[in-house]
Every structure is written in C-alpha cells, then in structure tokens.
Amino acid sequence: MTDFKDRERGEEAKFAMDEQTAFRVAARRNRLLGEWAAGLMELTPEETEAYKKAVVQADFEEAGDEDVIRKVLGDLTSAGCDVDEATVRTTLEEKAVEAKRQLMSES
C-alpha cells in the first residue's frame, strides 16, 4: 500500500511541476508576443513594458489562446499595422518555442 501512495504522491508532484512549467512558458510566450507587437506599433520602451504586461494579463480572460490573439490582433489593427490573424497565430507558435528554449537554458 505504501508503494502505491508513494507513486501517487510522485505523480501529483509531477503534475504540479508540469502545470507550473506550462504556466511559465505561456507567460513568457505572451511577453515575447507583446514585445513583437510593440515593435510593430513602434511603442516607446516604457509603453513596450506596459504592453507586454497587458498581453500577459489578457491570457487570464478565458481558457486557451484566443483572448491573447484577439487582444494583439485588435491592438495591431487599431494601430494601423498590416497584420492578419494567421501572422499573429504563427508568431504566437514561434514565441512558444522561443519561450521554452529560454526557460530550458535558465534551468
């Protein structure tokens, strides 16, 4: 019975670690996406920092990535940038890979 409890605790710890890692990757990815969008909108360094935080916050509105995509695409469109949804989605995927690489190199 102890082996089963130990295994159960191990699985719970692994699940918690995986969830924490996924959260950190998503937050880093969103910051990178915000930085990319801020560059397209030609924001100042101060505005860029605030915008990156706003993109991270947008991810808490609903499950999935649609809230982030909607925010960034809306902001880019409002700023007069010629960017479509497919470009934002592709960039989001690229930034996810970059975020994973960055977090792995920090470990």
Q: What is the pTM of this model?
A: 0.84
How deeply is 89 buried, as exposed, middle or buried, from its count of CB atoms within 10 A (0-12, 13-18, 19+)?
A: middle
pLDDT band at residue 10 under the 50/70/90 scheme: confident
Q: Which domains are present in the chain?
A: 2-106 (1.10.790.20)
Q: What is the pLDDT of residues 20-73, one digit of tens each?
A: 888 999 999 999 999 999 999 999 999 999 999 999 999 998 888 999 999 999
